[in-house]
Amino acid sequence: MRQLAKLVIENKGFLTFMLCMFMFRSAVADWNVVPTGSMQPTIEIGDRIVVDKAAYDLRIPFTHVSLVHRADPQRGDIVVLDSDAAGERLVKRVIGVPGDQVALVQNHLYVNGKAAGYRATTVSGIRDDREDPALYAFEDTGSTSHVVRWSMAAQGHTTDFGPVTVPSGHYLLLGDNRDNSADSRYFGFFPRKEIVGRATRVAMSLDPANHYRPRADRWGASLQ
């Protein structure tokens, strides 16, 4: 015990720094590795994303207990949540806020009866496109616009969902990779308390399919 106490005293500066860093990452800002493609093309497999954990709440470090409520997630936000239903941390986009009526008709989005607009675009560098060719389009809801991915192999299958009304205290979240995302269509509405922060940008990106070579063009990229 004396040796342990001596070791702590001799390294108290380093230990204090580490504790402060962990508290900062827990309550203020963090970075997460994205291992799946459910948010492609916005977030690619191997991206390390910056998460603003103070975007919505100031929390007691290492807990989900909110000390100060700052804001609520808005449509279009990319949020990070610790999902009980999924049993893991998820990164998804807010599609419906409490009170919204949301539907997908042949994969086209309707929010409160208003159809989103779509404009075809091209995206390169998505590795899944080699075995699963896809169509890409800007999805414009009036307040937000971002690119979604539709698998060409899934065309012709039913992709209808809803209409459903988002209950109080919950959010409807979808992945931008619409045919390859386990989201509110599978797990239902996500409680507000499970949302821990908002993803703001890509800190760095490594390509796991190419010996983890850096994708320099994605470093620091803003997430929309």
Residues catalogued as catalytic: 38, 92
Write the CA distances from 80 to 34, 56, 117, 171, integer angstroms. 11, 11, 26, 12
3-class secondary structure, 15: helix
Q: Identity (one letter) of the amino acid at 192?
A: R
Strand (E) or helix (H) holding 39: none
d(Cα 96, Cα 117) in Å, to the nearest integer?
16
User: Is the omega angle on the peptide bond into residue 214 within 30 degrees of 0, that is, cis?
Assistant: no
Q: Which residues face 147 on adjacent strands?
A: 138
Select from 115, 163, 156, 173 the least CA-distant residue to 139: 115
